[in-house]
Amino acid sequence: MAQAVQNYVKSLNWGHRVQLQDKKVKYFNLKGSFADAHTIRGLTKAGKEMTLTAENIVIATGLRPKYPKDVAGALQYGITSDDLFWLKKSPGKTPLIGMSPDVSLECAGFLTGIGLDTTVMVRSIPLRGFDQQMSSLVADYMESHGTRFLKKCIPTKVEELDSGKLQVSWKNADLGKEETDSFDTVIWAVGRVPDTKTLNLETVGVKMNSETGKIIVDASEATSVPHIYAVGDITEGRPELTPTAIAAGKLLARRLFSQSSELMDYDSVPTTVFTPLEYGCVGLSEEKAVGRYGADNTEVYHAYYKPLEFTVAERDATQCYIKMVCLREKEQRLLGLHFIGPNAGEVIQGFALGIKCGATYSQMMKTVGIHPTSAEEVTKLHITKRSGLDATVTGC
């Protein structure tokens, strides 16, 4: 399996290089940094130096996994998700420490699914930044299907035992005591950081957020230096999503070459967490909608449903849930849509267009669903949280 994943990643990289060549784009495999505002100094793996000059420069170096600095043994004995598929043997009993959604829960779901003893350790709330009710349902589903969760736990150290096992110590905030357990592999999922320190940005005057290290840009992706731009995860306040970076990069290229003046719209960008039971969403969470418009001006339609494929196989559908967040007005403009269930990403991708175009609840209810699909349940939402009625979908 690991070899298949490695081969796929290598094929992607090779495919990108071929496409660049076909489009007559020169590719240099260098570690770059700014020599001045128009010059990049690059180093090859062999240490050979070369310089490149340009009228405009775009920074798109992304993020890399980080290790906690306050946990003894974290770097020495732990790995990150980037290393998982490069292991020579099965990771065995594994904790994923942190709540980075694309790392902690997705990897935990995968490892549990192939039969490994898997633990998720989190110090606060699951899936920070997402709708918290939906996040809790995702975690509940995983826990009921074998993933162990250690909540409100703070790691303190990692040590290697004589047996070769790794002993992780942590403080349980709920119990107020230190706890330990031994594992075969320790995976850190505490987020990703920009590697901006090596770019020599201060020399050319590019401003960064002092806390995150990310580059500050305006609506046109320009940095504090007009001819230096930045796109993707390395920019402050942008969604850390590959498709978003690609879209922003395309629009920037068109503007730089006078093909368009269109700016990237970062509002209502859809995304999905690919856990065993997928969670897809677009727009505002219930918490953010209430915070922005107030509880009295926010209407939430919801439903617990059972996908057809769960019915035939008699699978547990307790956490299959849909939530539509609307502005409580005459037309009830859609503010956000949240979907937990099979193929959530496919479902949300379609409805994202409607929300982007300002769709309303009344328009959604006029949409005819495709039967028998899970997505059709979105077009039948009629129970509000405010009503207090049972939101379980029935046969009629």
Instruction: With both helix axes pointing from N to C terminus, report the angle between 286-293 and 132-144 in degrees, rounded to the nearest 10.
Output: 170
CB-based contacts of 121: which residues, under 8 Å, 6+ apart? 95, 96, 97, 98, 149, 150, 153, 155, 168, 170
3-state secondary structure 252-297: HHHHHCCCCCCCCCCCCCCEEECCCCCEEEEECCHHHHHHHHCHHH
* 69 φψ region: left (φ > 0), alpha (ψ -120 to 50), beta (else): alpha
Long-range contacts of 176-184 (CB under 8 A, 24+ apart): 179/153, 181/95, 181/119, 182/93, 183/92, 183/93, 183/94, 183/95, 183/119, 184/91, 184/92, 184/93, 184/94
- Contact yes or no for 271/280 (Cβ under 8 A): yes
- Contact yes or no for 288/271 (Cβ under 8 A): no
Pairing of strands 279-283, 334-340: antiparallel
The DSSP secondary-structure symbol of 150 reads E
φ, ψ (nearest 5 deg) of residue 150? -110, 105
Structure tokens, 21: 């060549």
Q: Which residues are catalytic?
A: 371
What are the residues facing 63 on neighbouring strands? 194
Structure tokens, 255: 């503007």
- Between the CA atoms of 139, 142, 68 and 32, what dihedral angle is there, to the nearest 10 degrees? -100
